[in-house]
Chain A
Amino acid sequence: MLRQTPSQTIGPFFGFGLVPAQYGFAGAAIGSGTMVTDQVAGQRIRITGQVFDGAGMVVPDALIEVWQADAAGRYGGPAQEPQAGSPDAAFTGFGRVGTGAKPDARFVFETIKPGSVDALQAPHLHVTLFMRGLLRHVCTRIYFSDEREANLRDPVLRAVPHDRRDTLIAWRDETSAFQTYSFDIHMQGERETVFFDV
């Protein structure tokens, strides 16, 4: 068995390479915060938040990638596991945002509410987070506050200690006309987000 190539930090200057348009550089990106087009099926939603370090300071140099199923719960791309039906061809399910692109270091994903990928799992997005000071990336999940029944059945959420489950819930903003959810990520402290060993 070969040894894995070791991970190293993404460093502070990834923007021009990985998300060039967001940082004012030319060139097509493989992903952005705008994951929907008119052709994509499903309920439009917006997920927004900030990343906080152990001192409670907002992190202005993080890269956040999300990966999700389409509105029917099917993943795009070359599937390695059988799934019923074809995924929405207009939807990649992949988003990528650098937090340095906005003055308040806020990330925004315009996407669709994912369907359940199987009978057990609640709708969710997979999140991969990179930043200076993080020698290996971390992975977490975003669930939705208005999917309470499904969340109670979800086997991953059920495996999370009860007092930390809220760190994985994106909260619906009832005051917004557009369907908006807030999801902050805390690297340390009392509200430290649950990160998974994948």
Chain B
Amino acid sequence: MPTRKLIASSHPPYRHRDYVSTRLRAPEQPLLRVPQFFPDRAGPPIGSTMLAPVDADLTKNGRCNGEPVGERIIVAGRIVDQKGRPLPRALVEIWQANAAGRYTQPTDQHDAPLDPNFLGAGRCESDASGRYSFRTIKPGAYPWQNHPNAWRPNHIHLSLFGSGCGSRLVTQLYFPGDPLLTLDPIFNSVPAGARDLLVAQFDLDRTEPGIALAYRFDIVLRGPRATPREA
């Protein structure tokens, strides 16, 4: 019997029947466990000089001839490891659809308007206490081809580098009260007890009065090797 207490994994399985694209892309063989031979090195070594404050303000970083359309919001939170220790200087990259539910990438063929003043991508680094903050536009829902009348709930994609290879995370942030959440196979691929971890919380204290509502989204990354392996 292991002496360390294992906690149930909060991650989705690779194969999730209701998310059709997993069928031909999920690995069929179990992951191979080879203890101790992966470097716990932080990466990539991105310098703060590469980041500008405007990179974290998506209401400004894509402007062409005016302001982007939609509801301005703040998305902010803390990045910690599983012991609750803040992760300073963690790189956070985000990308999302515009207020109409359209991505700026040309391969997105959804018949909704592009916004010439909104790129929908940004990045920042957490501060010394692990805090990060973005200002953006609330993304719209959009249809996809997974099943008849399928719609993705409003969401923002996030990519994080923590303290090593084991803490790399790509995920999606959702919004409270979205009626599409219970219908979304990607959100529901997560074990039932862990889905709330992906739903940001309305945060009145962090709003910018007269400017933007705020949502709090705290992020927990796996720590370095000392962390018990999840089942």
Question: Which residues of A come within 8 Å of B, CB atoms?
Answer: 1-18, 20, 23, 25, 27-28, 30-31, 53-55, 57, 59, 61, 67, 75-81, 92-94, 100, 117, 121, 126, 128, 130-139, 155-156, 159-160, 187-189, 192, 194-198
Chain B residues whose CB sits within 8 angstroms of the CB of A192 once the complex forms: 27-29
Contact partner of A1 among B5, B103, B122, CB < 8 A?
B5
Selected interface stretch from B68-76, B175-183, B190-198, B208-216: B190-198
Given contacts A8-B171, A126-B38, contact A94 B103 (CB under 8 A): no
| Contact A6 to B194, CB < 8 A, known contacts A17-B120, A23-B105, A197-B33 | yes
Closest 10 CB pairs of A and B: A17-B95, A133-B21, A77-B45, A94-B44, A17-B121, A133-B25, A197-B31, A54-B24, A8-B172, A135-B12
B32 touches A159 (CB 8 A): yes
Q: How far is the CB of A116 from chain B (nearest CB, A)?
A: 13
Contact B32 A3 (CB under 8 A): no
Give the distance in Å from the alpha carbon of A17 to the alpha carbon of B104 in the complex. Answer: 10
- Point out the residues of chain B lying under 8 angstroms from A3, CB to CB: 7-8, 10, 82, 194, 197, 220
With a 10 A CB-CB cut-off, give which of A13, A77, A117, A135 has the most chain B CB atoms.
Answer: A135
CA distance A141 to B22 in the complex (A): 22
- Encoded as 1 (CB less than 8 Å from any A CB) or 0, chain B from 127 to 166 comes to 0000000000000000000000000000001010001111
Q: Is B113 in contact with chain A by the CB < 8 A criterion? A: no
Could you say which of A53, A59, A137, A187 contacts B170, with CB atoms under 8 Å apart?
Answer: A137
**Across the interface, do B121 and A16 meet the contact criterion of CB distance under 8 Å?**
yes
Interface secondary structure of A, over-half rule: loop
Beyond the given A3-B82, A27-B121, please list 8 additional residue pairs across the A-B interface where CB-CB is below 8 A: A3-B7, A6-B11, A9-B186, A10-B170, A80-B40, A81-B41, A138-B31, A198-B165
Known: A5-B10, A6-B198. A196 touches B32 (CB 8 A): yes
Of all chain A residues, the one with the shortest Cβ separation from B191 is A6
Q: Would A128 and B168 count as touching, CB distance under 8 A?
A: yes
A11 CB to nearest chain B CB (Å): 6
* Residues on B with beta carbons closer than 8 Å to the beta carbon of A4: 9-11, 82, 169, 220-222, 230
Report B-chain residues with C-beta under 8 Å of the C-beta of A160.
32, 34
Closest to B7 in A: A1
Is B46 engaged at the interface, CB distance under 8 Å to the other chain? yes
Q: Which residue of A lies closest to B80 (CB)?
A: A2
- Chain A residues near B31 (CB-CB < 8 A): 138, 195-197
**Nearest-Cβ distance from residue B127 to partner chain A, whole angstroms:** 16
